[in-house]
Amino acid sequence: MRNKLTEELAVCGLNAVLALGEHHPDTINRLFLREDRLKTFSGICKRLAERKRPYKLCEDEELERVCGSVHHQGVAAMIEEPVVAPLSQEDLDFWAAEKKTGLVLYSVGNDHNLGAIARAAAFFDAHFIILNENDSEARLTTSAYRVAGGGMEHLTVRKVGNTAAFLKDASKQLLVLGTDTRARQRIGDLSGIVKAGRGGRPGIALVLGNEETSLPQPVKDRCSCLLRIPGTGNIDSLNVSQIAALFLYHFFEL
C-alpha cells in the first residue's frame, strides 16, 4: 500500500521483509511488527535504531491499515516508493556480456502476476525484468513485493516505452525468445535452439504476454523464435507466472 503523504510503499510478509533487511537494509525508513516477530527482526531493529529510524510494536489491526492487507504475516517495512528506471544501453551491454537471463513483460495483467514471476525469476537465477511503461497494472506495489517473497531484492527492474523497438535492438546482443500458444516449436526444443548459436550459451530475454491476448504481432516479429508449452488442451493456457517458471527452469538447466 502506498502512503501518499510520505511517498512510501509498504513491503509486508515475512520473507519479503527479511530479504529487504538482508540485501537493502538502508532502504527501510520505518518498521511495524507484532511482538512475536521482534526476535526474528532484532537485527533490522538494531540497524534502524543506529540510523535513528523508528520501529513500532503493534497489533494486526494497525498492520492491516499500514499495508492495506490481512496478509502481512506480522511485519511491514516502509520504503521510499520504488521508481523503475528506464533501460539504458549500459544495462543491455552488461546483460549480454555476462550472459544473463531475464524477462520482458508485455501486459502481464496485474501486480500479483508480476510478484509471482519475480519469485520464479529469483529462484532460477534470472537477473532482470523489463516492464512496458504503458502497462498500468503490473507495477511494483505492496502486493507484488509480498507475492515475490523476497525475489524483488535479487532482480534489476527496468522499463521501456516501446517493447517492439527495444527487442529490435536487444536481439543484436541477446537471444530473444517469445511465447505463443500456437507456435510450431515447443519448450522441449529450447536446448537445440540455444546451442545452435556460436560462442556458448548467450544471454537470453524471454518475452511474455497476457495469457488471454498473447503477444501483439509487432512484438512476435522481433523474437528470434516462438515457443509453446504443450498440454492436454483441456484448458486454453497456463497463467503467465506458471509459463515463466517452466521456461526459467529450462534455462537454468541448460
Which ranges in the chain are annotated with CATH 3.40.1280.10? 85-253
Q: Edge to edge, what strands does the sheet with 2-3 contain? A: 2-3, 8-12, 75-80, 28-33, 55-57
On the question of pLDDT at 150 being above 90, the answer is: yes
So what's the pLDDT on residue 199? 64
CATH superfamily placement of domain 2-80: Ribosomal protein L30/S12 (3.30.1330.30)
So what's the pLDDT on residue 172? 93
* Residue 212 or residue 76, greater confidence: 76
So what's the pLDDT on residue 193? 85
Which ranges in the chain are annotated with CATH 3.30.1330.30? 2-80
**Could you tell me the CA-to-CA distances from 49 to 8, 14, 27, 78, 134 in Å, in that order?**
19, 20, 14, 15, 40
Arithmetic mean of pLDDT, 81-98: 95
In angstroms, the CA 183 to CA 159 distance is 27
CATH architecture for the domain at 85-253: 3-Layer(aba) Sandwich (3.40)
In angstroms, the CA 148 to CA 16 distance is 7
What letter represents residue 218's amino acid? P
Neighbours of 165 (CB within 10 A): 12
Q: Where are the alpha helices (DSSP H) in the chain?
A: 14-23, 42-50, 60-67, 89-97, 111-123, 142-148, 163-170, 190-195, 217-220, 240-253
pLDDT tier for residue 182 given thresholds of 50, 70 and 90: confident
What's the angle, vertex CA 131, arms to CA 127 and CA 134, rounded to 5? 175
Which residue reads 535513528 in cell numbers? 52
* Residue 141 or residue 235, greater confidence: 141
pLDDT tier for residue 1 given thresholds of 50, 70 and 90: low
Arithmetic mean of pLDDT, 97-114: 92
In angstroms, the CA 121 to CA 205 distance is 12
Kindly write down the DSSP assignment for every residue of 91-129, as one continuous string.
Answer: HHHHHHHTT-EEEEEES---HHHHHHHHHHHHHTT--EE
Are 101 and 203 contacting, i.e. CB atoms less than 8 angstroms apart?
Answer: yes
